[in-house]
A = this chain, B = another copy of it.
Amino acid sequence: MSLLVVGTLAYDTVETPSGKAEEVLGGAATYFSYAASFFGPVRLMSVIGADFRPEDRELLAGRGVDLGGLHVEPEGRTFRWAGRYEGDMNVAETLDTQLNVFADYAPKVPEPFADSRYVFLANSPPAMQAHVLDQVSDDAFTVMDTMNLWIDIAREELDAVLQRVDLLIINDQEARMLAGESSLIKAGRAILEQGPNAVIVKKGEHGAFLFSREFFYAIPAYPVETVVDPTGAGDSFAGGLMGYLASEDRVDEASLRAAMLYGSVVASFNVQDFSLGRFKEIERAQIDERFQEMLRFTAHP
């Protein structure tokens, strides 16, 4: 298996009904790679500033995350995000975004990463995602995320990238926006027409749908009693999903169904604490336990 992620490493300041966390390790590539690391090694590409804490780098390296693609801007400052969650924990209110070193990031895939078989393009400008696709193998299983901002201001570039990836993973609001359809079922099917072979629509506490040309699959979310902080849930979902697929080294209907459940389970741990708090307390065994629970929760009559 060889799994590559390209995206942000960040410091987040997050407020939720459970409390506040300041300047904690976050970013899409952080959550993705930690989540995927439960299943095997991960290759990471990102950019950080001189302020990136050595212990955070060690944390990732200690999880088997290959930092050979981590670019340091000695004069720069690491990406910052600040946000707040209230009533509906599915939607973050962004209070501040500072792209910092990420603003001028031109990801260059290092030679040893070029043969990666599984590639995740975390949320970033579509042109940046396209630039990464140019540098990886045509045979790679490519997966992308995006966000409302790019649907708004970079639609043409986004449409072009959509044509080139195997799987799009987005949330329900983004799916509706991308398809211009208020029905989520219509939206998922319409996005399939726009290029990708499959679309996963994440619905937070309501689970997720997978639309492909061959089958439709729906799962509930793992039932978490208290969501402390949903930040990174989507990237943790993608990390669990792709970590599992890469570890099986097989993408078919059965592995995708299992990967959806693994993604959901991994995300269910992530939301139980701020930053990587809960991830640091668990091992693969606990993930497999919840996976078995999910099988029981959804078992057929």
Binding site for B on A (CB under 8 A): 87, 182-186, 189, 203, 205-207, 209, 215-220, 223-227, 254-258, 261, 295-301
Contacts and interface: CB of A to CB of B under 8 A. Distances in A.
A257 B220 contact: no
B301 A183 contact: no
B255 A185 contact: no
A interface secondary structure, majority: mixed
Contacts of A218: 207, 220, 223, 297-298
Given A185-B224, A223-B218, A296-B215, A301 B207 contact: no
B185 A298 contact: no
A219 B220 contact: yes
A227 B186 CA distance: 11
A219 B215 CA distance: 17
Contacts of A186: 225-226
A209 B215 CA distance: 24
A205 to B, nearest CB: 7
A152 to B, nearest CB: 20
A225 B206 CA distance: 18
A206 to B, nearest CB: 4
Nearest to A88: B182
A220 B18 CA distance: 29
6 contacts: A183-B224, A203-B206, A217-B297, A218-B297, A257-B299, A295-B300
9 smallest beta-carbon distances between A and B, as pairs: A258-B301, A218-B220, A257-B301, A206-B206, A185-B223, A254-B301, A185-B225, A186-B225, A218-B297
B183 A226 contact: yes
Contacts of A296: 215-216
Contacts of A299: 217, 257, 300
